[in-house]
Structure 1
Amino acid sequence: MCNSMTSKLHLLSRFRVVLCQPSHPGNIGSTARAMKVMGLHDLKLVNPEKFPDNEANALACGAVDILENAQVCSTLEEALTGCTLAIGLSARKRQLSHRLVSVREAATEARELLLQSADEDSKIALVFGTEMSGLSNAELDRCQLLAMIPTDPGYWSLNLAAAVQVMCYEVRMALLDEQQALPHAGLKATPATNDEVEMFYRHLEQTLTEIGFLNPHSPRRLMQRLRRMYARTALEKEEVNILRGILTLTQHPRPPEE
């Protein structure tokens, strides 16, 4: 493999596959195989029903090392720690959901974010829901971008591991596509991680409750709308710090100067 191709594909190590509550161990094994074929190795499992499991190992077909290094998490928030972008795979547009694009567009946006980022340790998560119902609304809220595989409208059901394979393929091809890559000049930004953004959302909700803008007993969908709005901006670390500074001053105003 030539040096230029190798330099691009090293970015595959910055991608993480997250499976939320997978119920079939065979799908976990097949997911590991799909990942390894495309050069991805970071797997997180949120509350899997059965893992580790012999069926998962059998279907991994040479990718057991990915299963051995997979991390089991109790929450999606834990699985997204250190990620600057979470791309949720969805079969359909949801009400009040984040922007929905094709998996090809999502892979291209992920590549551009990595190339522009000054943080070389940040990760991008590819988040998949359960085999039966996909991602819940609460899980989608933890993502900043939704991606859809454009299947035939007459039969849109896709096996979990097959969906992982398609998404990982698109990521690999986006990194290899020199002609579509945008020039990146000037200073690189440091995007905020998922955990930093989640702390901002909690701070925001607390502040809005304290000033009476949000009624905690009848919140409706205010926080969902705010999440969707901020997700479109791709918040940087410094921007989150500025916003939280504003919130802190709102909660604890400085006394007027005499």
Structure 2
Amino acid sequence: MKLDNIRIVLVNTSHPGNIGGVARAMKNMGLSRLYLVDPRQFPDEQAEWRAASAVDVLEDAVVTSSLDEAIADCQFVVGTSARGRRIPWPLLDPRQCAERMAVASEKEQVAVLFGREDRGLTNDELKVCNLHLNIPTSADYSSLNLAMAVQVVCYELRMLLDAPSLPATEDAEWDTPFATRENMERFYTHLEETLVDVEFLDPAAPRQLMARLRRLYSRVRLDEMELNILRGILTETQKWVRKAKASDSGPGPG
């Protein structure tokens, strides 16, 4: 496992003290890459105070204006979720998820997303994730502080660091790098355009088609070559649709 390939991404954090607490939790477990998506208040003295001896993690934090920017180069994205969703997504606990992240981090960029203190990640943000992570808690009191949640995930990663061998949950010997999140988003846009062209998708009433297709491809995990093949198929499909429409609108018999 390569901890340097794993980043913790905090989305729209409202309290700077929580950012400092997260930095401290990360450094305790040996993680150092912190990304902050549009934080409400940062930098801030409260963050530095809560970080204690982990101020270096704060100083090196990458601040972005959007989630897309924070994970554009990532190939494996995990979103923390405490709520049930209309469309079920692959869901693991922190221990199972750490095993998957550990394997992926050997050759890929991995991101773990943590949402807002009051409402977590939105459905749209969770759609970009390959897996959803849920931290089991007591039904009597299920609320977790942001830094506590990050600590649990980082702890599970740390526990695997010195393990004699990583769980063989996926084949780490892959011949082509897995697709980045940025390239996957381009693919989803291309796929939606093509489905509209062939009249399989009605843009006026899309329902949950694209969400389900995102779930499908996120579960499979495409590598860059597979993604290029699919993009090529979509491009050729669009060409044939244009030819068919041109033929139908051509001049009739004289």
Contact conserved, 1:97 with 1:140, CA < 8 A, in 2? no
Report SS of the residue matched to 1:83: coil
**Following the alignment from structure 2 to structure 1, what is the Cα–Cα distance between the partners of residues 99 and 6?**
13
- How far did residue 81 of structure 1 move? 1.5
The Cα shift of 1:191 comes to 0.9
Greater CA drift, 234-243 or 91-100: 91-100
Runs ≥4 residues deviating over 6 A: none
Partners in 2 of 1:201 and 1:153 — Cα distance?
38
Alpha-carbon distance in 2 for matches of 1:178, 1:223: 41
Match of 1:226 in 2: 213
- Choose 1 or 2 for highest CA Rg: 2
SS at match of 1:217: coil
Which position in structure 1 is the counterpart of 2:189?
202
Match of 1:25 among 16, 20, 27: 16
Cα distance in 2 between the residues matched to 1:111 and 1:166: 15
CA RMSD of aligned residues (A): 2.0
The answer to whether the 8 A contact 2:103-2:166 is kept is no
The CA distance in 2 between the partners of 1:146 and 1:84, in whole Å, is 15
2:53 match: secondary structure: coil
Pairing partner for 2:29 from 16, 34, 38 = 38
Residue pair 2:176, 2:225 contacting (<8 A) in 1 also: no
Change (3 A) 1:184 1:241: closer
Distance 1:147 1:186, change over 3 A: closer
For the pair 1:63 / 2:49, whether they are aligned, the reply is no
| Mapped contact 1:93–1:100 kept (Cα < 8 A) | no
Change in 2 beyond 3 A, CA 1:209/1:23: same
**Residue 56 (structure 1) shift:** 0.5
Q: Give the AA of the match of 2:214.
A: R
Asked if 1:217 corresponds to 2:200, the answer is no
Match of 1:239 in 2: 226
Distance in 2 separating the partners of 1:64 and 1:82: 25
Q: Give the superposition deviation at 1:185.
A: 7.8
* CA distance 1:187–1:180, shift in 2 (3 Å): closer
TM-score between the two structures when normalised by the length of structure 1: 0.88
Give the SS at the match of 1:28: helix
State how far apart, in whole Å, the 2-side matches of 1:38 and 1:246 are: 45
Cα deviation, 1:38-88, whole Å, max 9, x if unaligned, reads: 111111111111011111111111111111111111111111111111100
Aligned to 1:22, the other structure's residue is in SS state coil
Indicate if the aligned counterparts of 2:104 and 2:110 stay in contact, CA closer than 8 A: no
Tell me if the contact between 1:91 and 1:156 (Cα under 8 Å) persists in the aligned partners. no
CA distance in 1 between counterparts of 2:102 and 2:7 reads 13
How far residue 176 of structure 1 moved from its aligned partner, in angstroms, is 2.5
1:187 Cα deviation from its structure 2 partner: 5.0
The residue aligned with 1:134 is: 120
**Whole-angstrom CA distance in 2 between matches of 1:198 and 1:87:** 16
Task: Check if 1:124 corresponds to 2:110.
Answer: yes
1:150 and 2:141 correspond = no
**Residue 84 of structure 2: SS of its match in structure 1?**
coil
Q: How many residues align?
A: 242
Identify unmatched segments of 5+ residues in structure 1.
Answer: 1-7
User: Of 50, 63, 68, which residue of structure 2 is paired with 1:72?
Assistant: 63
For structure 2, list consecutive stretches of 5 or more residues without a partner in the other structure: 244-254
Once residues 192 and 177 of structure 2 are traced to their aligned partners in structure 1, the CA distance between those partners, rounded to angstroms, is 24
TM-score of the two chains, using structure 2 as the length reference: 0.89
Report sequence identity in percent.
48
Amino acid at match of 2:25: A
Displacement of 1:33 after TM fit? 0.8
Out of 130, 148, 153, the position equivalent to 1:167 is: 153
